[in-house]
Amino acid sequence: MFYIGFSIFIGYLVGSVPFGLVFTRMAGLGDIRKIGSGNIGATNVLRTGRKDLAFLTLIFDIGKAALVALFCQFIFNDHSMGMLAGFFAVIGHNYPVWLHFKGGKGVASTLGLMLAMTPTVGILTAVSWLLTAITFHYSSLAALTALALSPIFALFFATPMTAFLYLLLAVLSFWRHRANIKRILSGEESKIKLGKKTK
């Protein structure tokens, strides 16, 4: 029980760190929650025009879930504890205690968990995101497509329990993206242009 409790606690605590907000405030850009979509993730940070900050946010959001998962797997010598810590890092990113439980959408952190614990699934999920983004130019659609495919990838390259956890994270992501889904259906969702300034 201590292993489980510690993994949940440290995973949630690390995942709650809002790097997008931290980096934009350190750069003197104010509160990222008052810009664009109001999200604290890399896509919204990119809307400030600072690609460097968006890249840092992406790396740190991926890294926080990956590192806490690897840490718990190492100290407890238990893959399931790593999965649990990474899972709750995503929960922490989405519902951070520091921001009154109003956080991001957890896509980068979910990818970090996958890359750390199930590298093949993580790579396939990342490639799915990239191909969808290149084809349709919607970051949200790319995220939803990639995360929807991740449980299927996990069935082939991981375990049924891992696939179930990734399914839960995919459902959570769809819930967090519900406003984006409405905008996609109505044709009002902002597009991204890879390698260029956002619209």
Dump pLDDT digits (tens) for 57-71. 999 999 999 999 999
CA atoms within 13 A on the CB side of 118: 28
- What does the pLDDT read at residue 194? 54
pLDDT tens track for 103-136: 889 999 999 999 999 999 999 999 999 999 999 9
- What does the pLDDT read at residue 189? 85
Tokens for 185, please give them: 């259906």
- What does the pLDDT read at residue 30? 84
Instruction: Look at residue 6 and tell me whether its pLDDT is greater than 80.
Output: yes
Instruction: Look at residue 1 and tell me whether its pLDDT is greater than 60.
Output: yes
Arithmetic mean of pLDDT, 158-184: 95
Q: pTM (2 decimals)?
A: 0.90
Question: By three-state DSSP, how is residue 158 classified?
Answer: coil
> In this structure, what are the phi and psi dihedrals at residue 15, rounded to the nearest 5 degrees?
-65, -25
Say if residues 98 and 51 touch (Cβ distance below 8 Å).
Answer: no
Task: Kindly indicate the confidence band of residue 34, based on its pLDDT and cuts at 50, 70 and 90.
Answer: confident
